[in-house]
Structure 1
Amino acid sequence: MAINKYMRAALKTLSYADIDIKNNYKIVRQLENAAHMDVTKPFYKTWDHTVTRGDHVIPVRIFSPDETLRDFPILLFFHGGGWVIGNIDSYNKVCRTMAKLTKHIVVSVDYRLAPEHRYPNGLLDCYEVAKELFLNSGLLHIRPEQITLIGDSAGANLAAAVSLMARDKGEFFPERQILIYPATYNDHTEHSPFPSVRENGTDYLLTSKRVQDYMELYMNSPKDLTDPYFAPLLSENLKDQPKTLIITAQYDPLRDEGEAYAHRLMKDGNQVELHRIRDALHGFFSLPPRFVQVKRCYQYINQFLSEVETCE
């Protein structure tokens, strides 16, 4: 369904009522968690697990396509929310839908959030969970080649950074990653080189100001802005990355940087599939699966998973 002029007017009103996230992030968290409360949780099966990193315990929630944990391949999922909001509870519906529609076990990571835990804490939590899954094949009775990294928005940023870190550390290697409207760059002001920041940065719910505020809450110091694990598009070397599916949204300020990341990966010799979802806003992946944009997104995801898993 295309965005008509009345919907555009409503979106513009909502977008300009942008809360000061830097001073009110706790309130925004509460509102987001309440809005995504999953009242159906008692009626489907999940398993909770923990991964230890130093003196910190990282909660993990596991969703299966059925009532068992039999031999399904795995989607290791990092949720969005600007590194500041969201958790495994607020993403229950998304993960349940993902498990059902992809016929994969979904492992959702409750990484630490900024600004209480600034960069790189959330990233290191995600890396630690990935490391345990890849190196402990007995955990869910799967082989490393059955694991795909996936994330939306800030979670896609984390998935891309985990892949880069895995290559650099050499401890394990993800063979596939799915990045849904990823944040890959470090500048979302009027000076951004990407037109989508200006075209879509005020009228479509996620504003460029909100993205900039999230990044300021996430970073530990200004030097983080030039760190490729913080902004993967800045990496001078994107060679030896996983087979990658990148999905962007037409009316998203992050659209162009996500697509630029796809082209950089291609240029450096990686296998990449890129799709832009028409008439879609940032965040559409969290909508119910009846929406045409969500259906189309899962078509691309399942085609990608089927192609790469059939070849192995």
Structure 2
Amino acid sequence: MSYDVDPELLPWLDMLPQVALPDYEALLAARTQQSQLKDLLPAYEPATPVDVRDTSVPGPSDAPDVPVRVYSPANRDGLVPGLLYVHGGGFVLGDLDMFHAQVLRFADELGIVIVSVDYRLAPEHPFPAPVEDCYAALKWLAEKASELGVDPQRIGIAGESAGGGLAAATTLLARDRGGPGLCFQLLGIPELDDRLATGSMTDYVDTPVWNRPNAIYSWTAYLGTEPGGEDVSPYAAPARATDLAGLPPAFVTTCQYDPLRDEGLEYARRLAHAGVPTELRLYPGTFHGSSLVESAAISRRMSGDEIDALRRGLGVTASR
């Protein structure tokens, strides 16, 4: 297919990392490439000091502790909002370093405390390990709110791509397990539906960075079985949830030429229909991961929209 990609993004198509995941050997190669790319990612210099420390939190029952990275801006006045951040990577890639600059920017511009979770990856650790790691980190954030300087009434969650799907799933778990309470969820280009049957998922087999073949491998690795079966948990694939009532306000982003586009649109529609205050953005001319081109106007708008949404959703009143 041909795609009417934003003109500012076109020159970068050949330079962006092209992920191909036909099998486990290719995944290992992609992980090696990821580790090599870390030093090439643009850095972010905060306007005010942000303390960054790596630690670990108690893991799920009979599981190892969960590594997390805590971002605590200096010059805070009283309690501030807290945010659990869940990185992307198709459930099989990604780590704290790959998304460090983005999280650091959130902490700096919003003046909030962020706990970024380094959940276990599939296929070595299929569902429910990743989402249970995220839930364990959320519980720790809530339990340590006072120690972290966080207002327990203003804790949110955010994630991108597979991280957006895990954020949605963690939000469902928090509702169904009676807490911790969340005031907001940001679901960035989320991976939500293992059934792989939407129009965008069916048609976009060759889109840049992410496409249908990668999605098939991603879900197979995460579920530990062929996707689309009858007994898939909504905590694995939130699009399977039959009841979305009682969830916190949501901000959902989607990209035009992304196989995940339609599942994000549909989840936002269903949230709104369930009475959840929901905002939705569909960015024209973009594709999954196009925000890596930070200089493009559309990428700057996407980033700015997320920061504005977090500011409103978390009740951030002080300007940075």
TM-score range, shorter chain: 0.7 to 0.9
| Residue pair 1:153, 1:182 contacting (<8 A) in 2 also | yes
2:169 pairs with 161, 164, 171, which one? 161
Moved more, 88-97 or 123-132: 88-97
Aligned to 1:134: 142
Moved more, 97-106 or 38-47: 38-47
Aligned to 1:7: 10
Q: Distance in 1 between matches of 2:167 and 2:53?
A: 22
Query: Does residue 212 of the first structure (1) align with residue 216 of the second (2)?
Result: yes
Q: Distance in 2 between matches of 1:224 and 1:46?
A: 43
2:286 pairs with 266, 280, 283, which one? 280
| Residue pair 1:74, 1:148 contacting (<8 A) in 2 also | yes
Structure 1 or 2: more helix by fraction: 1
SS in 1 for 2:20: coil
Q: State the Cα deviation string for residues 169-211 of structure 1 (Å, max 9, x = none).
A: 11322110000000111123xxx1x221234331322111001
Moved more, 241-250 or 201-210: 201-210
Trace 1:89-100 onto structure 2 (pairs within 5 A).
89-100=97-108
List runs of 5+ in structure 1 lacking aligned partners: none
- TM-aligned CA deviation for residue 147 of structure 1: 1.5
- Matched AA of 1:294: S
Q: Distance in 2 between matches of 1:79 and 1:185?
A: 18
| CA pair 57-67 structure 1, distance change in 2 beyond 3 A | farther
Q: State the Cα deviation string for residues 122-157 of structure 1 (Å, max 9, x = none).
A: 110000010111233223121222221000010011
Structure 1 runs of 4+ aligned residues shifted over 6 Å read 41-44, 67-70
- The two structures, once aligned, show a CA RMSD in angstroms of 3.2
| Residue pair 1:219, 1:225 contacting (<8 A) in 2 also | no
Aligned to 1:293: 298
- TM-aligned CA deviation for residue 269 of structure 1: 1.1
TM-score calculated relative to the size of structure 2: 0.84
- TM-aligned CA deviation for residue 261 of structure 1: 0.2
SS in 2 for 1:112: coil
TM-score calculated relative to the size of structure 1: 0.86
Q: State the Cα deviation string for residues 98-118 of structure 1 (Å, max 9, x = none).
A: 323333332210000111111
- TM-aligned CA deviation for residue 282 of structure 1: 0.7
SS in 2 for 1:93: helix
| CA pair 294-224 structure 1, distance change in 2 beyond 3 A | farther
List runs of 5+ in structure 2 lacking aligned partners: none
Trace 1:193-212 onto structure 2 (pairs within 5 A).
194-212=198-216
Q: Distance in 1 between matches of 2:24 and 2:245?
A: 36
Query: Does residue 239 of the first structure (1) align with residue 245 of the second (2)?
Result: yes
| CA pair 286-98 structure 1, distance change in 2 beyond 3 A | farther
| Residue pair 2:247, 2:276 contacting (<8 A) in 1 also | yes
| CA pair 246-213 structure 1, distance change in 2 beyond 3 A | same
